[in-house]
Structure 1
């Protein structure tokens, strides 16, 4: 969302589940203010947090709700455009339902053919795709996430 990779928002239905999973509470970390505010060291493996929120705050302030909505909708539309291009070409198949700006696709055929396609695409340096594998089926992941991405 227009911030660096290491800055992200996390919405949790049950924050308690994460706190229970990452809770580290040795005696030397106890203090008098425990329980007065969320202790975010229990939300992750590291005990401290870098100040990343300012980056996100600036984006929210500079763009506003409407422009962020436009930005997200544009990325979703671009993902669906790529999905349509894949579906229109008999050589490709969509591996999973398109979600937000993520398209999981593959060439019909062997895993090796898809590995070679990934090597060639990433080797050009124009775009970067990431592979994945589920049940020994290799596929490529196109994530629309740059503000410079266009449909041309």
Structure 2
């Protein structure tokens, strides 16, 4: 029995700039057949941000690898730096801004999955690149 692809390199993940920054989903139902969540990497240049949104079905876990961020949770700012981790509870509006002088790198994971991929994010702010393709997280490989 073949296990299929379980390993994905960041360079093989399509960049998504729809909400800002460079978001790359590496592990997902579409890429590796995951059934409980998805995750990947976020890179934000100084001053870049991810627009405010919330997840009605998922918690989001953020792990800062490099850079200085401010994450606003339902209007309350939380400063994050290298080595910091943050959980964004289900239904909490959040926006992530690089407030430092260097590129910020973040590892993220969301779980559980929404019933359908298009229900996973609710945008509450105008998108940075609204015409960019919507990322395909769910569905079969």
TM-score (norm: length of structure 1): 0.27
Q: Which has the higher strand share?
A: 2
TM-score by length of 2: 0.28
More helix by share: 1
Q: Which has the higher contact order (CA 8 A, sep 6+)?
A: 2
